[in-house]
């Protein structure tokens, strides 16, 4: 069975607030564990009226405490915003509370606007040191080194698994160089996906962390009882993405019956390209689209995202998506054996 995981931005729907969004995150995490998801990741965004996961490490701790088995982690921590030692201490503490259950996905983007990046009090040139920061961070999480003047306590020796996240070729090259698992942000920036996967796999250097490449494909999922419902559920994320690209970020909009009546053709085309790595529709359509994506990219793992306005509909969508994935991988298994 292909491992499947979940990305949750803790979206704040219109008519709701951050408290409701975080409560929904805990409820969805328990649901994901019941559905046997491998990981539950949360992302760092700042100054975003529609996203409640800004204090990502704190939310990860709450999710881990509310569940029992599922791995919980970051998808990701935006390393330019933080000193590597602080991240090592935070995730080392999480790993101490929840041994064997914490992941650390790292991104290079600031995850916000430049004004907010300045408010986070790291220099804007920090992203240029991303490879060195990754190496420093891994060092803090590694076994104790004799004579080390700076140590992460907790953190030292926890060996929290580090992932490289990216939406360009840079992350693919870095993950391959360090021999780390790689997750591509195809759920909102699929343009370089094909080339990034090829680069990562062809240039991968085995390391003490990983013997062979491990590529995670990120896919949006909007699974309804039929195609019409799936399209309806998707309209919230389409509107949210258009608002973000227009410089008007806000809460996750309510779904609409006709997205063409809300977004002009040029904006809709841009949104559809950005969200093209998605599965949308009823069970049969979801199965077909998943089979196509898996057949094309041969991921080692798949991560589902889906910003849906109604929390109950969101849970139902993930339930249908998992059922469809099991059907697809079950059908593929005999072919692979043959």
In a domain? residue 192: yes
Domains contained in the chain, number: 1
Packing angle of the helix pair 56-66, 84-97 (nearest 10 deg): 10
How deeply is 268 buried, as exposed, middle or buried, from its count of CB atoms within 10 A (0-12, 13-18, 19+)? middle
pLDDT, one tens digit per residue, over 14-24 is 999 999 999 99
Q: Give the up-direction half-sphere exposure of residue 197: CA atoms within 13 A in the CB hemisphere.
A: 18
Is 32 part of any domain? yes
Q: How confident is the model over 252-278, as pLDDT tens digits? A: 999 999 999 999 999 999 999 999 999
Q: Please check whether residue 263 lies inside any domain of the structure.
A: no
In a domain? residue 327: no
120 falls within a domain: yes
pLDDT in tens, 294-320: 999 999 999 999 999 999 999 999 999
Residue span of the structural domain in which 21 resides: 4-220+296-314
pLDDT tens sequence across 187-236: 999 999 999 999 999 999 999 999 999 999 999 999 999 999 999 999 99
Kindly list the distances between the CA atom of residue 292 and the CA atoms of 131, 134, 296, in Å, as whole numbers in the listed order.
34, 34, 6
- For residue 83, tell me if it sits in a domain: yes
Looking at residues 98-107, what average pLDDT do you find? Answer: 97
Residue 334 resides in a domain:
no
* Position 182 pLDDT exceeds 70: yes
- Which tokens in the block code for residue 35? 């559905």
Supply the pLDDT for residue 313: 98
Any domain includes 17: yes
132-170 pLDDT, tens digit per residue, is 999 999 999 999 888 889 999 999 999 999 999 999 999
Phi, psi torsion values for 201, nearest 5 degrees = -70, -40
Average pLDDT score over the chain: 94
pLDDT at 127 over 50: no
pLDDT at 122 over 90: no
CATH number for 122: 3.20.20.30
Give yes or no for residue 288 having a pLDDT over 80.
yes
CA 240, 244, 250: angle at the middle one, nearest 5?
Answer: 60
């Amino acid at each position: 069975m292909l491992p499947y995981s979940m990305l949750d931005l803790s979206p704040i729907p219109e008519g709701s607030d951050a408290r409701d969004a975080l409560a929904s995150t805990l409820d969805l995490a328990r649901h994901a564990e019941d559905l046997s998801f491998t990981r539950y990741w949360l992302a760092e965004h700042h100054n975003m009226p529609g996203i409640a996961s800004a204090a990502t490490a704190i939310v990860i701790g709450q999710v881990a405490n509310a569940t029992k088995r599922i791995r919980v982690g970051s998808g990701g921590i935006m390393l330019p915003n933080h000193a590597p030692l602080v991240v090592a201490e935070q995730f080392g503490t999480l790993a101490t509370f929840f041994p064997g259950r914490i992941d650390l996905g790292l991104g290079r983007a600031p995850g916000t606007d430049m004004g907010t990046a300045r408010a986070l009090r790291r220099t804007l040139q920090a992203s240029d040191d991303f490879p060195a920061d990754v190496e420093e961070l891994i060092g803090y999480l590694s076994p104790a080194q004799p004579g080390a003047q700076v140590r992460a306590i907790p953190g030292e020796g926890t060996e929290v698994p580090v992932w490289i996240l990216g939406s360009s070729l840079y992350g693919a090259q870095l993950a391959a160089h360090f021999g780390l698992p790689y997750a591509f942000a195809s759920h909102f920036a699929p343009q370089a996906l094909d080339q990034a996967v090829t680069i990562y796999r062809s240039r991968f250097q085995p390391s003490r962390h990983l013997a062979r490449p491990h590529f995670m494909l990120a896919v949006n999922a909007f699974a309804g009882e039929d195609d019409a419902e799936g399209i309806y559920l998707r309209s919230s994320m389409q509107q949210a993405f258009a608002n973000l690209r227009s410089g008007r970020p806000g809460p996750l909009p309510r779904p609409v019956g006709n997205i063409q009546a809300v977004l002009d053709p040029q904006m809709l085309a841009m949104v559809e390209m950005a969200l093209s790595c998605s599965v949308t529709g009823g069970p049969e359509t979801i199965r077909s689209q998943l089979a196509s994506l898996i057949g094309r990219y041969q991921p080692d793992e798949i991560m589902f995202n889906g910003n849906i306005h109604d929390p109950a509909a969101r849970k139902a969508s993930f339930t249908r998506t998992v059922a469809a994935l099991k059907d697809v991988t079950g059908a593929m298994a005999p072919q692979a054996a043959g």
